[in-house]
């Protein structure tokens, strides 16, 4: 479970607020999709949950552990796939995965079987002896996904995880996300691929100008618009500058900067 309580993140000495007074609870047993345009604050929020950035104000806890007060314990409760797969490029694939397993203290017998299974599922079993810098972008993304799933923590934080994945790998990841949530655990992911969100999520949150302007099921979102439009059409309408919710968010953003 992930709890976000009145979290804000500011830059430039408080002049720019990337996330503003945001509160959200993501429960065990659900896949929660975070939708928003580039610059809306999605990655900033996910980076704060993962402990890469610290909130300017407010608090975040993962399974009851404060990510700022006890960052190591909180990190052991989650895995994170960031928006860039370009990490530790000089390591070979198997060296990188062993490094991740060591950090999470995955037992040797468990890591060996799990690495073999994940590498085969994602079509990377023949690449583990090669350096990550020799991989294509899609292969690097697969490696980041494998590394994130290897420790199998209760909470998955995935920032645009489908980017660069081939259709088979994307399908496997979506299946894994569903299985993880059905086991009573938590999946939080951001995406621009709205039809993916529509097919996968249990609940969706729409973020605009650093504020959540909608949280609920896709059905509730449809009820809000009194239509059977696709999620993409509703999302575009909800986040357009003429939308009352998005406009009020933009207005408050201007007031904050002033």
Q: pLDDT-derived band of residue 131, with 50, 70 and 90 as boundaries? A: very high
Under DSSP, the state recorded for 47 is H
CATH number for the segment(s) 2-77+155-257: 3.40.50.300
pLDDT tens-digit map of 111-127:
999 999 999 999 999 99
* pLDDT(244) > 60: no
Beta bridge partners of 62: 2, 65
* pLDDT(48) > 90: yes
- Written as six digits, the tokens of 46 are 């996910």
The mean pLDDT of 103-108, rounded to a whole number, is 94
In angstroms and rounded to an integer, the radius of gyration of the C-alpha atoms of the chain is 19
Contact 34, 45 (CB under 8 A): yes
pLDDT at 257: 34
Helices 218-225, 231-239: crossing angle, 10 deg rounding = 60
Alpha-carbon distance of 87 to 132, in angstroms, equals: 8
The mean pLDDT of 208-235, rounded to a whole number, is 75
pLDDT at 134: 95
Domain boundaries along the sequence of the chain: 2-77+155-257, 86-152
For the chain, the average pLDDT equals 85
The most distant pair of C-alpha atoms in the chain lies apart, rounded to whole Å, by 57
List, edge to edge, every strand of the sheet that includes 186-190: 78-81, 155-159, 186-190, 30-35, 203-208, 211-216
Under DSSP, the state recorded for 92 is B
Q: pLDDT-derived band of residue 234, with 50, 70 and 90 as boundaries? A: low
Q: pLDDT-derived band of residue 57, with 50, 70 and 90 as boundaries? A: very high
CA distances from 165 to 88, 93, 106 (A): 19, 17, 26
* pLDDT(253) > 70: no
Q: pLDDT-derived band of residue 252, with 50, 70 and 90 as boundaries? A: very low
The mean pLDDT of 18-43, rounded to a whole number, is 90
Of 1-5, 82-86, 229-233, give the range with the top mean pLDDT.
Answer: 1-5
Under DSSP, the state recorded for 230 is -
Q: Tell me phi and psi for residue 17, to 5 degrees.
A: -105, 115
pLDDT tens-digit map of 147-160:
999 999 999 999 98
Q: Tell me phi and psi for residue 14, to 5 degrees.
A: 95, -5
Alpha-carbon distance of 179 to 34, in angstroms, equals: 19
pLDDT at 185: 94
């Amino acid at each position: 479970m992930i709890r976000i309580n009145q979290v804000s993140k500011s830059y430039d000495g408080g002049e720019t607020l990337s996330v503003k007074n945001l509160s959200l609870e993501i429960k065990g047993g659900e896949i929660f999709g975070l939708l928003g345009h580039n610059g809306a604050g999605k990655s900033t929020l996910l980076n704060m949950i993962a402990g890469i950035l610290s909130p300017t104000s407010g608090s975040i806890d993962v399974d009851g552990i404060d990510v700022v007060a006890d960052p190591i314990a909180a990190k052991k409760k989650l895995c994170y796939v960031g928006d860039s797969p370009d990490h530790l490029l000089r390591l070979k694939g198997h060296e990188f995965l062993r490094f991740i397993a060591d950090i999470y203290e995955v037992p040797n017998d468990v890591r060996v079987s799990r690495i073999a299974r994940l590498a085969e599922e994602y079509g990377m079993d023949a690449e583990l002896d090669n350096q990550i810098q020799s991989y294509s972008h899609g292969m690097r993304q697969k490696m980041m996904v494998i590394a994130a799933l290897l420790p199998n923590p209760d909470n998955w934080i995935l920032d645009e995880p489908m980017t660069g994945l081939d259709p088979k790998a994307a399908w496997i990841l979506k299946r894994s996300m569903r299985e993880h949530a059905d086991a009573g655990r938590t999946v939080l992911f951001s995406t621009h691929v709205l039809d993916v969100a529509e097919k996968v999520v249990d609940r969706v949150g729409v973020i605009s100008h650093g504020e959540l302007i909608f949280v609920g099921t896709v059905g509730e979102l449809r009820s809000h618009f009194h239509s059977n439009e696709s999620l993409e059409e509703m999302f575009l309408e909800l986040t357009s500058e003429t939308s009352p919710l998005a406009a009020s968010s933009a207005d408050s953003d201007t007031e904050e900067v002033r």
